[in-house]
Amino acid sequence: MGNPTASVLQREATITQDDNASALQLILGLARTPAWVGGIGAMAVGFLLQAAALATGPISAVQPILIVELSFTLLLAPRCSTVACTGGSGMRWPG
């Protein structure tokens, strides 16, 4: 659950940033955002858990578990997001 949590937290943090900021301003602004820092921490925890799983189990057993993280991300994002994912949010849907 480390990587899905990191994805959701970092997405939330970037929504609050100024679209016209320079790259340096954006990075500095994100570094002061608790959600972004929490996302980095969650990513580090996820990486360490993946490394531990791969060190203790065969890749044929660990890889399917790692792939399921995408499902957790898709389930977690709408529940935690403060912004609705609609056509007006900047996303482009095919069709």
37-52: pLDDT as tens digits: 888 898 899 889 889 9
- Please say if the pLDDT value at position 1 is more than 80: no
Does residue 94 lie within any of the structural domains? Answer: no
Give the total number of structural domains in the chain: 1
Structure pTM? 0.64
Token pair 């925890």: residue:
45
75 occurs within a structural domain: yes
Q: Is residue 66 part of a domain?
A: yes
Q: Is residue 85 within 8 Å of residue 78, measured between CB atoms?
A: yes
Mean pLDDT of the chain: 76
Range of the domain at 14: 2-89
Helices vs strands, H then E, count in the chain: 5, 0
Task: Check residue 30 and give its pLDDT.
Answer: 85
pLDDT of residue 85 exceeding 70, the answer is: no
B/e letters for 20-37, b = 16+ CB within 10 Å, e = fewer, are eeeeeeeeebbeebebbe
Residue 95, domain member (yes or no): no
13 belongs to a structural domain = yes
Mean pLDDT for 8-17 is 78
